[in-house]
Structure 1
């Protein structure tokens, strides 16, 4: 017997199932009416192949979304070189805005998957990326673009952040429980890598830097609009790929009231809090890292003068890269040893790593303040005659020696945050599944119905938890720009002390709620082993 799709299905979409289901003529796009990933025979003969195909193209679309979401994280460091007179405070706020908007969009993006279908919404969300990319191209080529306009355009980059929630919610429906951790980890990692690639390739695309001497920086100056055109073209590709190669699942249908009911679940809020510590750290550090390196390790008063110190363009992408690669590893470890245990390990590693970062920061020399506008105007009259003052040169040289240790410690923060990203997303469906198993008897229709209901809740919870967790991506750049600390290095130290304390709280919560073995009459109500 065959699994049928509607009239828009292609021949290759016919798959094996128990019985054909009636099509629904009002629907558009490819809809799979019968989907039973927990049925081993169905999964092995049909489900795995279909799920894999949807996962591949979901990763591509989400990867693109992350790239657009974080396009300002690296381009903001080039704005001054293009003649825009923005302060460090304005630049940190500029990279934070997309993270705030992206976190707010994750809830409606999650709700859109059951409403419109995963394939249909992937097409829509990929097409929406044309707005921030084309707006970016306009803003950076117009020297009269005001700062508020930059903020508005940067806010639209949050569309890319919303893609993550809808993509994860969609893939969650495709895979059985024992494979969700790895599948969601791969899906998320593929998206997260977009952060690293945009930070690596954007400086090369725009002519701002070479690739470790292999590719030279452009002699014609910096052209940020080039990156916008590249990603606008990729947005069109992602839209077409979703149209031709992805599917909608009829079983994933639910109404917003059912999905938002997870807000009443205490576990939703606890996991959202923990996700601020893992994913919020990943996306926040990724956004802030280019500016952190530039402010503390680099000096270049004008583009016409050769800079000294550590060029952020060579290293800023590494954090997002190792964090992204660690995410599926975290999902795999969670499948093998339990999500809660691995999450606790991740927070413990983040505590030790941030303390190490603080130690390296204590070895840095405070850089003298950069030249003001009047001084820059004088330097611009004869750039060839400019020489860096001795205190600046000495401070940069001293900090350059510390940089390898700072970078190594910072990368370990990314590694453990990536592991935590994978393990927490394994915990979410496991928690809701445990609720279903606790409330019903094995092998009964009630158990099957409860598992389906809880799977829908888990999918909705993934979006909501992802939305709240992504707020960390806004808070971290803002904290690095602490208004109560005027000196950049002191602000950086202050921020890392705050983050370390927060990770300690997250570790305690993880242990108390999900790892600690309970004793007594209420022991069966715990979530040990998720």
Structure 2
């Protein structure tokens, strides 16, 4: 379709844009914007969750951090992302899609480069790695700018599908970095910068690795993404200053949707960041009731127990959640988002309740320990599934509940608060213990089920969506 005069651009900015007008909507531009921005968003999630693929192995590379220090380090990108999203949520009307996406993608290079350098020698002080973990939060922060700006390009009838595709494929960046890292670190031919490291694993021989590959491999793609955004994107003329954008906070549905998105994306992000550490500390080398000592001389105390390597499993949860997000998005366009948010909440209650017994390993025998691990793993994967469904449905609800300018701001705001998930999960597990924290999760989900039914899903609901 050729762009009509109403969709013509004056340089970077479109002179006018109304995706609800079938005659003037330039669908080719809209979908091009979606795919380029999604590519850059995926790299943002790679940068955001790169620490989660590295931190569980820092002590194996020669660092000597405590469990508490590692939990806090893994939580830091979540704290940073939440704060960064409060900034990025106001940028789309001010900078426009082109400048915001291209410049944001360049910023991802800072933390990615830093992690690639600092894994090569176990001498970085704790504060420096915490700083790099904080900077990684930029990759999570861009979500609150990219998603609202993409929503400007699509009519309401397609926003569930478009935003579901963008968020779901963007979320795949979590799985990509966690899935590929174990393979990348063994490829010596990729290590064009820096030498090898020695990684020690309980009960196994020392291994020569190239952990900088886990970071450096993404940097050329970040440059390519930034160039593509600068040369191929346009910006929609939706103008609003910061004061005007903050009028969303006078709408009660802003707060209700924030609670719902904490349940869905907060759960997804929190578990994605901490899954590997939690598995290691419950059923792996981090549990002193299971493993005594460190390195190749470590002893597995439970005879016959096959010690799991978290890197073999941690990518599965984010992968399931991301696929659920874009797979269920077309269903939310057809059936509405509220009913799927309701299903998400009910599913989360059941999945969390199933997982809780697996949070207390039974070390009396290898069979009991393996059974507990299986329950923990399958329960976690079910939590990821239902959180992914809810991520899709809530993003369908928001454009239906709010007018266009407010919808972008609400998407940015709710995403900002939910991005604190990794931080709250790390602090919650450290402070209260896993069982209590997961029980709080059940209570939160029950509250969200009640809100969804009364406000959005029941027959005659005030705000059906």
TM-score by length of 1: 0.78
Q: Name the CA shift for 1:92/1:396 in 2 (closer, same or farther; >3 Å).
A: farther
Matches within 5 A, 1:114-513: 114-207=93-186, 221-249=208-236, 251-299=237-285, 301-305=293-297, 308-361=306-359, 364-366=361-363, 395=365, 398-432=368-402, 454-482=403-431, 484=432, 491-513=433-455
The residue number in structure 1 matching 2:18 is 36
Larger CA Rg, structure 1 vs 2: 1
User: 1:15-56 CA distances to partner (integer Å, 9 max, x unpaired)?
Assistant: 421458683xxxxx633222221112233xxx2211111111
8 Å CA contact 2:205–2:296 kept in 1: the answer is no
Residues of 2 paired with 1:128 and 1:311: CA distance? 32
Residues of 1 paired with 2:404 and 2:271: CA distance? 32
Residues of 2 paired with 1:346 and 1:192: CA distance? 18
8 Å CA contact 1:82–1:222 kept in 2: the answer is no
Give unpaired runs (5+ residues) of structure 2.
Answer: 188-203, 286-290, 301-305
Q: CA RMSD in A?
A: 2.2
8 Å CA contact 2:46–2:173 kept in 1: the answer is yes
8 Å CA contact 1:93–1:477 kept in 2: the answer is yes
8 Å CA contact 1:17–1:34 kept in 2: the answer is no
User: 1:475-512 CA distances to partner (integer Å, 9 max, x unpaired)?
Assistant: 11221222x5xxxxxx2222211111111111111112
8 Å CA contact 2:7–2:24 kept in 1: the answer is no
Count of residue correspondences:
437
Residues of 1 paired with 2:261 and 2:242: CA distance? 23
Residues of 2 paired with 1:22 and 1:337: CA distance? 35
Q: Name the CA shift for 1:315/1:190 in 2 (closer, same or farther; >3 Å).
A: same
Residues of 2 paired with 1:21 and 1:358: CA distance? 56
SS in 2 for 1:316: coil
SS in 2 for 1:237: helix
8 Å CA contact 2:6–2:15 kept in 1: the answer is no
SS in 2 for 1:481: helix
Bigger relative CO (Cα 8 Å, ≥ 6 apart): 2
Residues of 2 paired with 1:277 and 1:267: CA distance? 15
SS in 2 for 1:107: helix
8 Å CA contact 1:106–1:163 kept in 2: the answer is yes
Residues of 2 paired with 1:22 and 1:473: CA distance? 40
Residues of 2 paired with 1:19 and 1:69: CA distance? 38
Worse overlay, 493-502 or 68-77: 493-502
Q: Name the CA shift for 1:15/1:111 in 2 (closer, same or farther; >3 Å).
A: farther
8 Å CA contact 1:199–1:317 kept in 2: the answer is yes
Residues of 2 paired with 1:328 and 1:85: CA distance? 40
Residues of 2 paired with 1:288 and 1:235: CA distance? 25
8 Å CA contact 2:85–2:416 kept in 1: the answer is yes
8 Å CA contact 2:4–2:23 kept in 1: the answer is no
User: 1:320-368 CA distances to partner (integer Å, 9 max, x unpaired)?
Assistant: 0000000123322221212111101100000001111123445x315xx
Q: Which portions of structure 1, spanning 4 or more consecutive aligned residues, are displaced by more than 6 angstroms? A: none
Match of residue 52, structure 1, among 31, 40, 46 = 31
8 Å CA contact 1:207–1:218 kept in 2: the answer is no
Shift of 1:425: 0.8
Worse overlay, 220-229 or 82-91: 220-229
Residues of 2 paired with 1:21 and 1:42: CA distance? 10
User: 1:111-151 CA distances to partner (integer Å, 9 max, x unpaired)?
Assistant: 11111111111111000011101121232223221111111
Shift of 1:261: 1.4
8 Å CA contact 1:168–1:188 kept in 2: the answer is yes
TM-score by length of 2: 0.89
Residues of 2 paired with 1:22 and 1:152: CA distance? 41
The residue number in structure 2 matching 1:450 is none
User: 1:394-418 CA distances to partner (integer Å, 9 max, x unpaired)?
Assistant: 6555322433332222111111100
SS in 2 for 1:70: helix
